[in-house]
Amino acid sequence: MANRRAPADTPPTVVPLPARFLTPEDIAAMFGVPLETVYQWRRKHTGPPGFRVGRHLRYHPDAVAQWVADQSREAA
């Protein structure tokens, strides 16, 4: 059986975000990076914007989606 590939103009598959605030562990799993990378992004202000709930760091799914869209535009 031949290995089929999608045409180059086919948009990538979009994975829906959970309908809850995301944890740093969720962000790391979503992007396939180590948890420490997520914390470095936060320290360097280069990753998705997060906020504190008490001592817990959380990310709004819409803000993460916007950050991904911005990164995609910058890379193009």
For the question of whether the overall pTM of this predicted structure is more than 0.95, the answer is no
Average pLDDT (2-10) is 57
Instruction: Please name which of 43, 46, 74 lies closest in space to residue 57, comparing C-alpha atoms.
Output: 43
Task: Report the distance separating Cα 14 and Cα 26, nearest Å.
Answer: 16
Q: What is the pLDDT of residues 37-76, one digit of tens each?
A: 999 999 999 999 999 999 999 999 999 999 999 988 887 6
Half-sphere exposure of 14 (CA within 13 A, CB side): 8
Residue 75 confidence (pLDDT): 76
Residue 21 confidence (pLDDT): 93
Q: What is the pLDDT of residues 13-46, one digit of tens each?
A: 666 666 799 999 999 999 999 999 999 999 999 9
